[in-house]
Structure 1
Amino acid sequence: MLDALGDGRPRSRETTASRAKGGILVVGGFVVALFVIEIVNMLTLHSLNRTFGLRPRSLDGLLDIFTFPLLHASLNHLLSNTLPLIIFGFLVFLSGLRVFLTALALSWLGSGLTVWLIGDGGVTVGASGLVFGLFAFLLVRGFFNHSWRQILLAVVLFMVYGSILLGVLPFVAGYISWQAHLGGAVGGVAAALLMRPRRGV
């Protein structure tokens, strides 16, 4: 039986609608912020990348873990991340703000730490690690949650976007950070594992 609100509307529908609105605002706001940062970066000839890009195995580079996904090598670089970031971010947000923040944070941290530990020595920037993390979260959470609906969504997403997973392989392309992709994906899986339903003993 549906739990109805005072005006007769089902609570589940209201919750889904409110989460959808929240997802649009939060994910959209984050993407807008990325474009604002990129505009500033372009006006300063991408000097922000040299200052706040992630430098592997340097002590002060640890702080760059918190800034490098906000920067991009070019406008085209940002545009390539925008659509999947919006789609995956919105779909994760439909499960709630706490789930979204957990998936985003672990993807961010996993991506950054992996680059810092095994990066090739250059400066790494870009939100693609977050894209891979959110995507990985969506792919595996249904199996942890035992949700056929989420598994079906994962299958559809894999059919459409599954080819991007090749980006975790070192030999696919020399100009991308496979380390960021791999670390982000691991972080996304860790988030799905962490957020799985707790079952009573």
Structure 2
Amino acid sequence: MAVFTAMLWVVEAFDVASGEQLERNGILPRMLDGLSGVVWAPLLHDDWAHLAANTLPFFVLGFLALANGLRQFVVVTATIWVLGGLAVWLVGPSGTNHIGASGLIFGWLAFLLVRGFYARSAAQITLAVMLFLFWGGMLWGVLPGQPGVSWQGHLFGALAGVVAARMVARADRGAVPA
């Protein structure tokens, strides 16, 4: 997770050095050339303050999502990244550019919060309760409110995290994920 987190800082340094050209590659809703933003948006940030605000939850929640192994982490992260990004592309407001790792952050949080219930694991439910007590207030970010903040990215990241939790639990029980 340290390497993944450091990569975000390197990308931001390149963005600043390029005159902030990279951040133009975010998710541009319903525009074909904005569809590539699904791939790039989680790596891009508006400025150093935006990146700094995302760094700690990105590292901590990503680390916890990684705790069950790299393979599961990749599946969960890819699910959140792609499903959340596509949903933002489909329903985000026209004329907006969605960037930032917060979709992943909300996705990992939602994954960690509901995974234990799907898996019927007391240890994971206990972790979920502790996470909710510490990070749960952040869930208000799925609601519209703060101008310039992609609540759509937060909401669809979180919903994709719930989908990922269900997929992982079903796979762990030997069922074919739906």
| Larger-gyration structure (1/2) | 1
> How many equivalent pairs are there?
172
Deviation at 1:111, TM superposition (A): 2.0
Q: Which runs of 5+ in 1 are unaligned?
A: 1-26
TM-score (norm 1): 0.83
Deviation at 1:199, TM superposition (A): 5.3
Matching of residue 39 in structure 1 with residue 13 in structure 2: yes
Q: Is the 8 A contact 1:109 1:184 kept in 2?
A: no
Q: Distance in 1 between matches of 2:92 and 2:157?
A: 13
Deviation at 1:61, TM superposition (A): 1.4
Q: CA-to-partner distance for each residue in 1:68-87, whole Å, 9 max, x for gaps? A: 11100001101111101111
Please state whether the residue corresponding to 1:173 is helix, strand or coil: coil
Structural RMSD (CA): 1.2
2:167 match: 194
1:126 match: 100
Deviation at 1:167, TM superposition (A): 0.7
Q: Distance in 2 between matches of 1:55 and 1:98?
A: 30
Q: Distance in 2 between matches of 1:119 and 1:162?
A: 24
Q: Distance in 2 between matches of 1:109 and 1:32?
A: 22
Which amino acid in structure 1 is aligned with residue 116 of structure 2? Answer: G
Matching of residue 174 in structure 1 with residue 147 in structure 2: yes
Q: Displaced runs of 4+ in structure 1, greater than 4 A?
A: none
1:99 match: 72
Q: Distance in 2 between matches of 1:186 and 1:101?
A: 17
Which amino acid in structure 2 is aligned with residue 173 of structure 1? Answer: Q
Matching of residue 155 in structure 1 with residue 129 in structure 2: yes
1:112 match: 85
Q: Which runs of 5+ in 2 are unaligned?
A: none
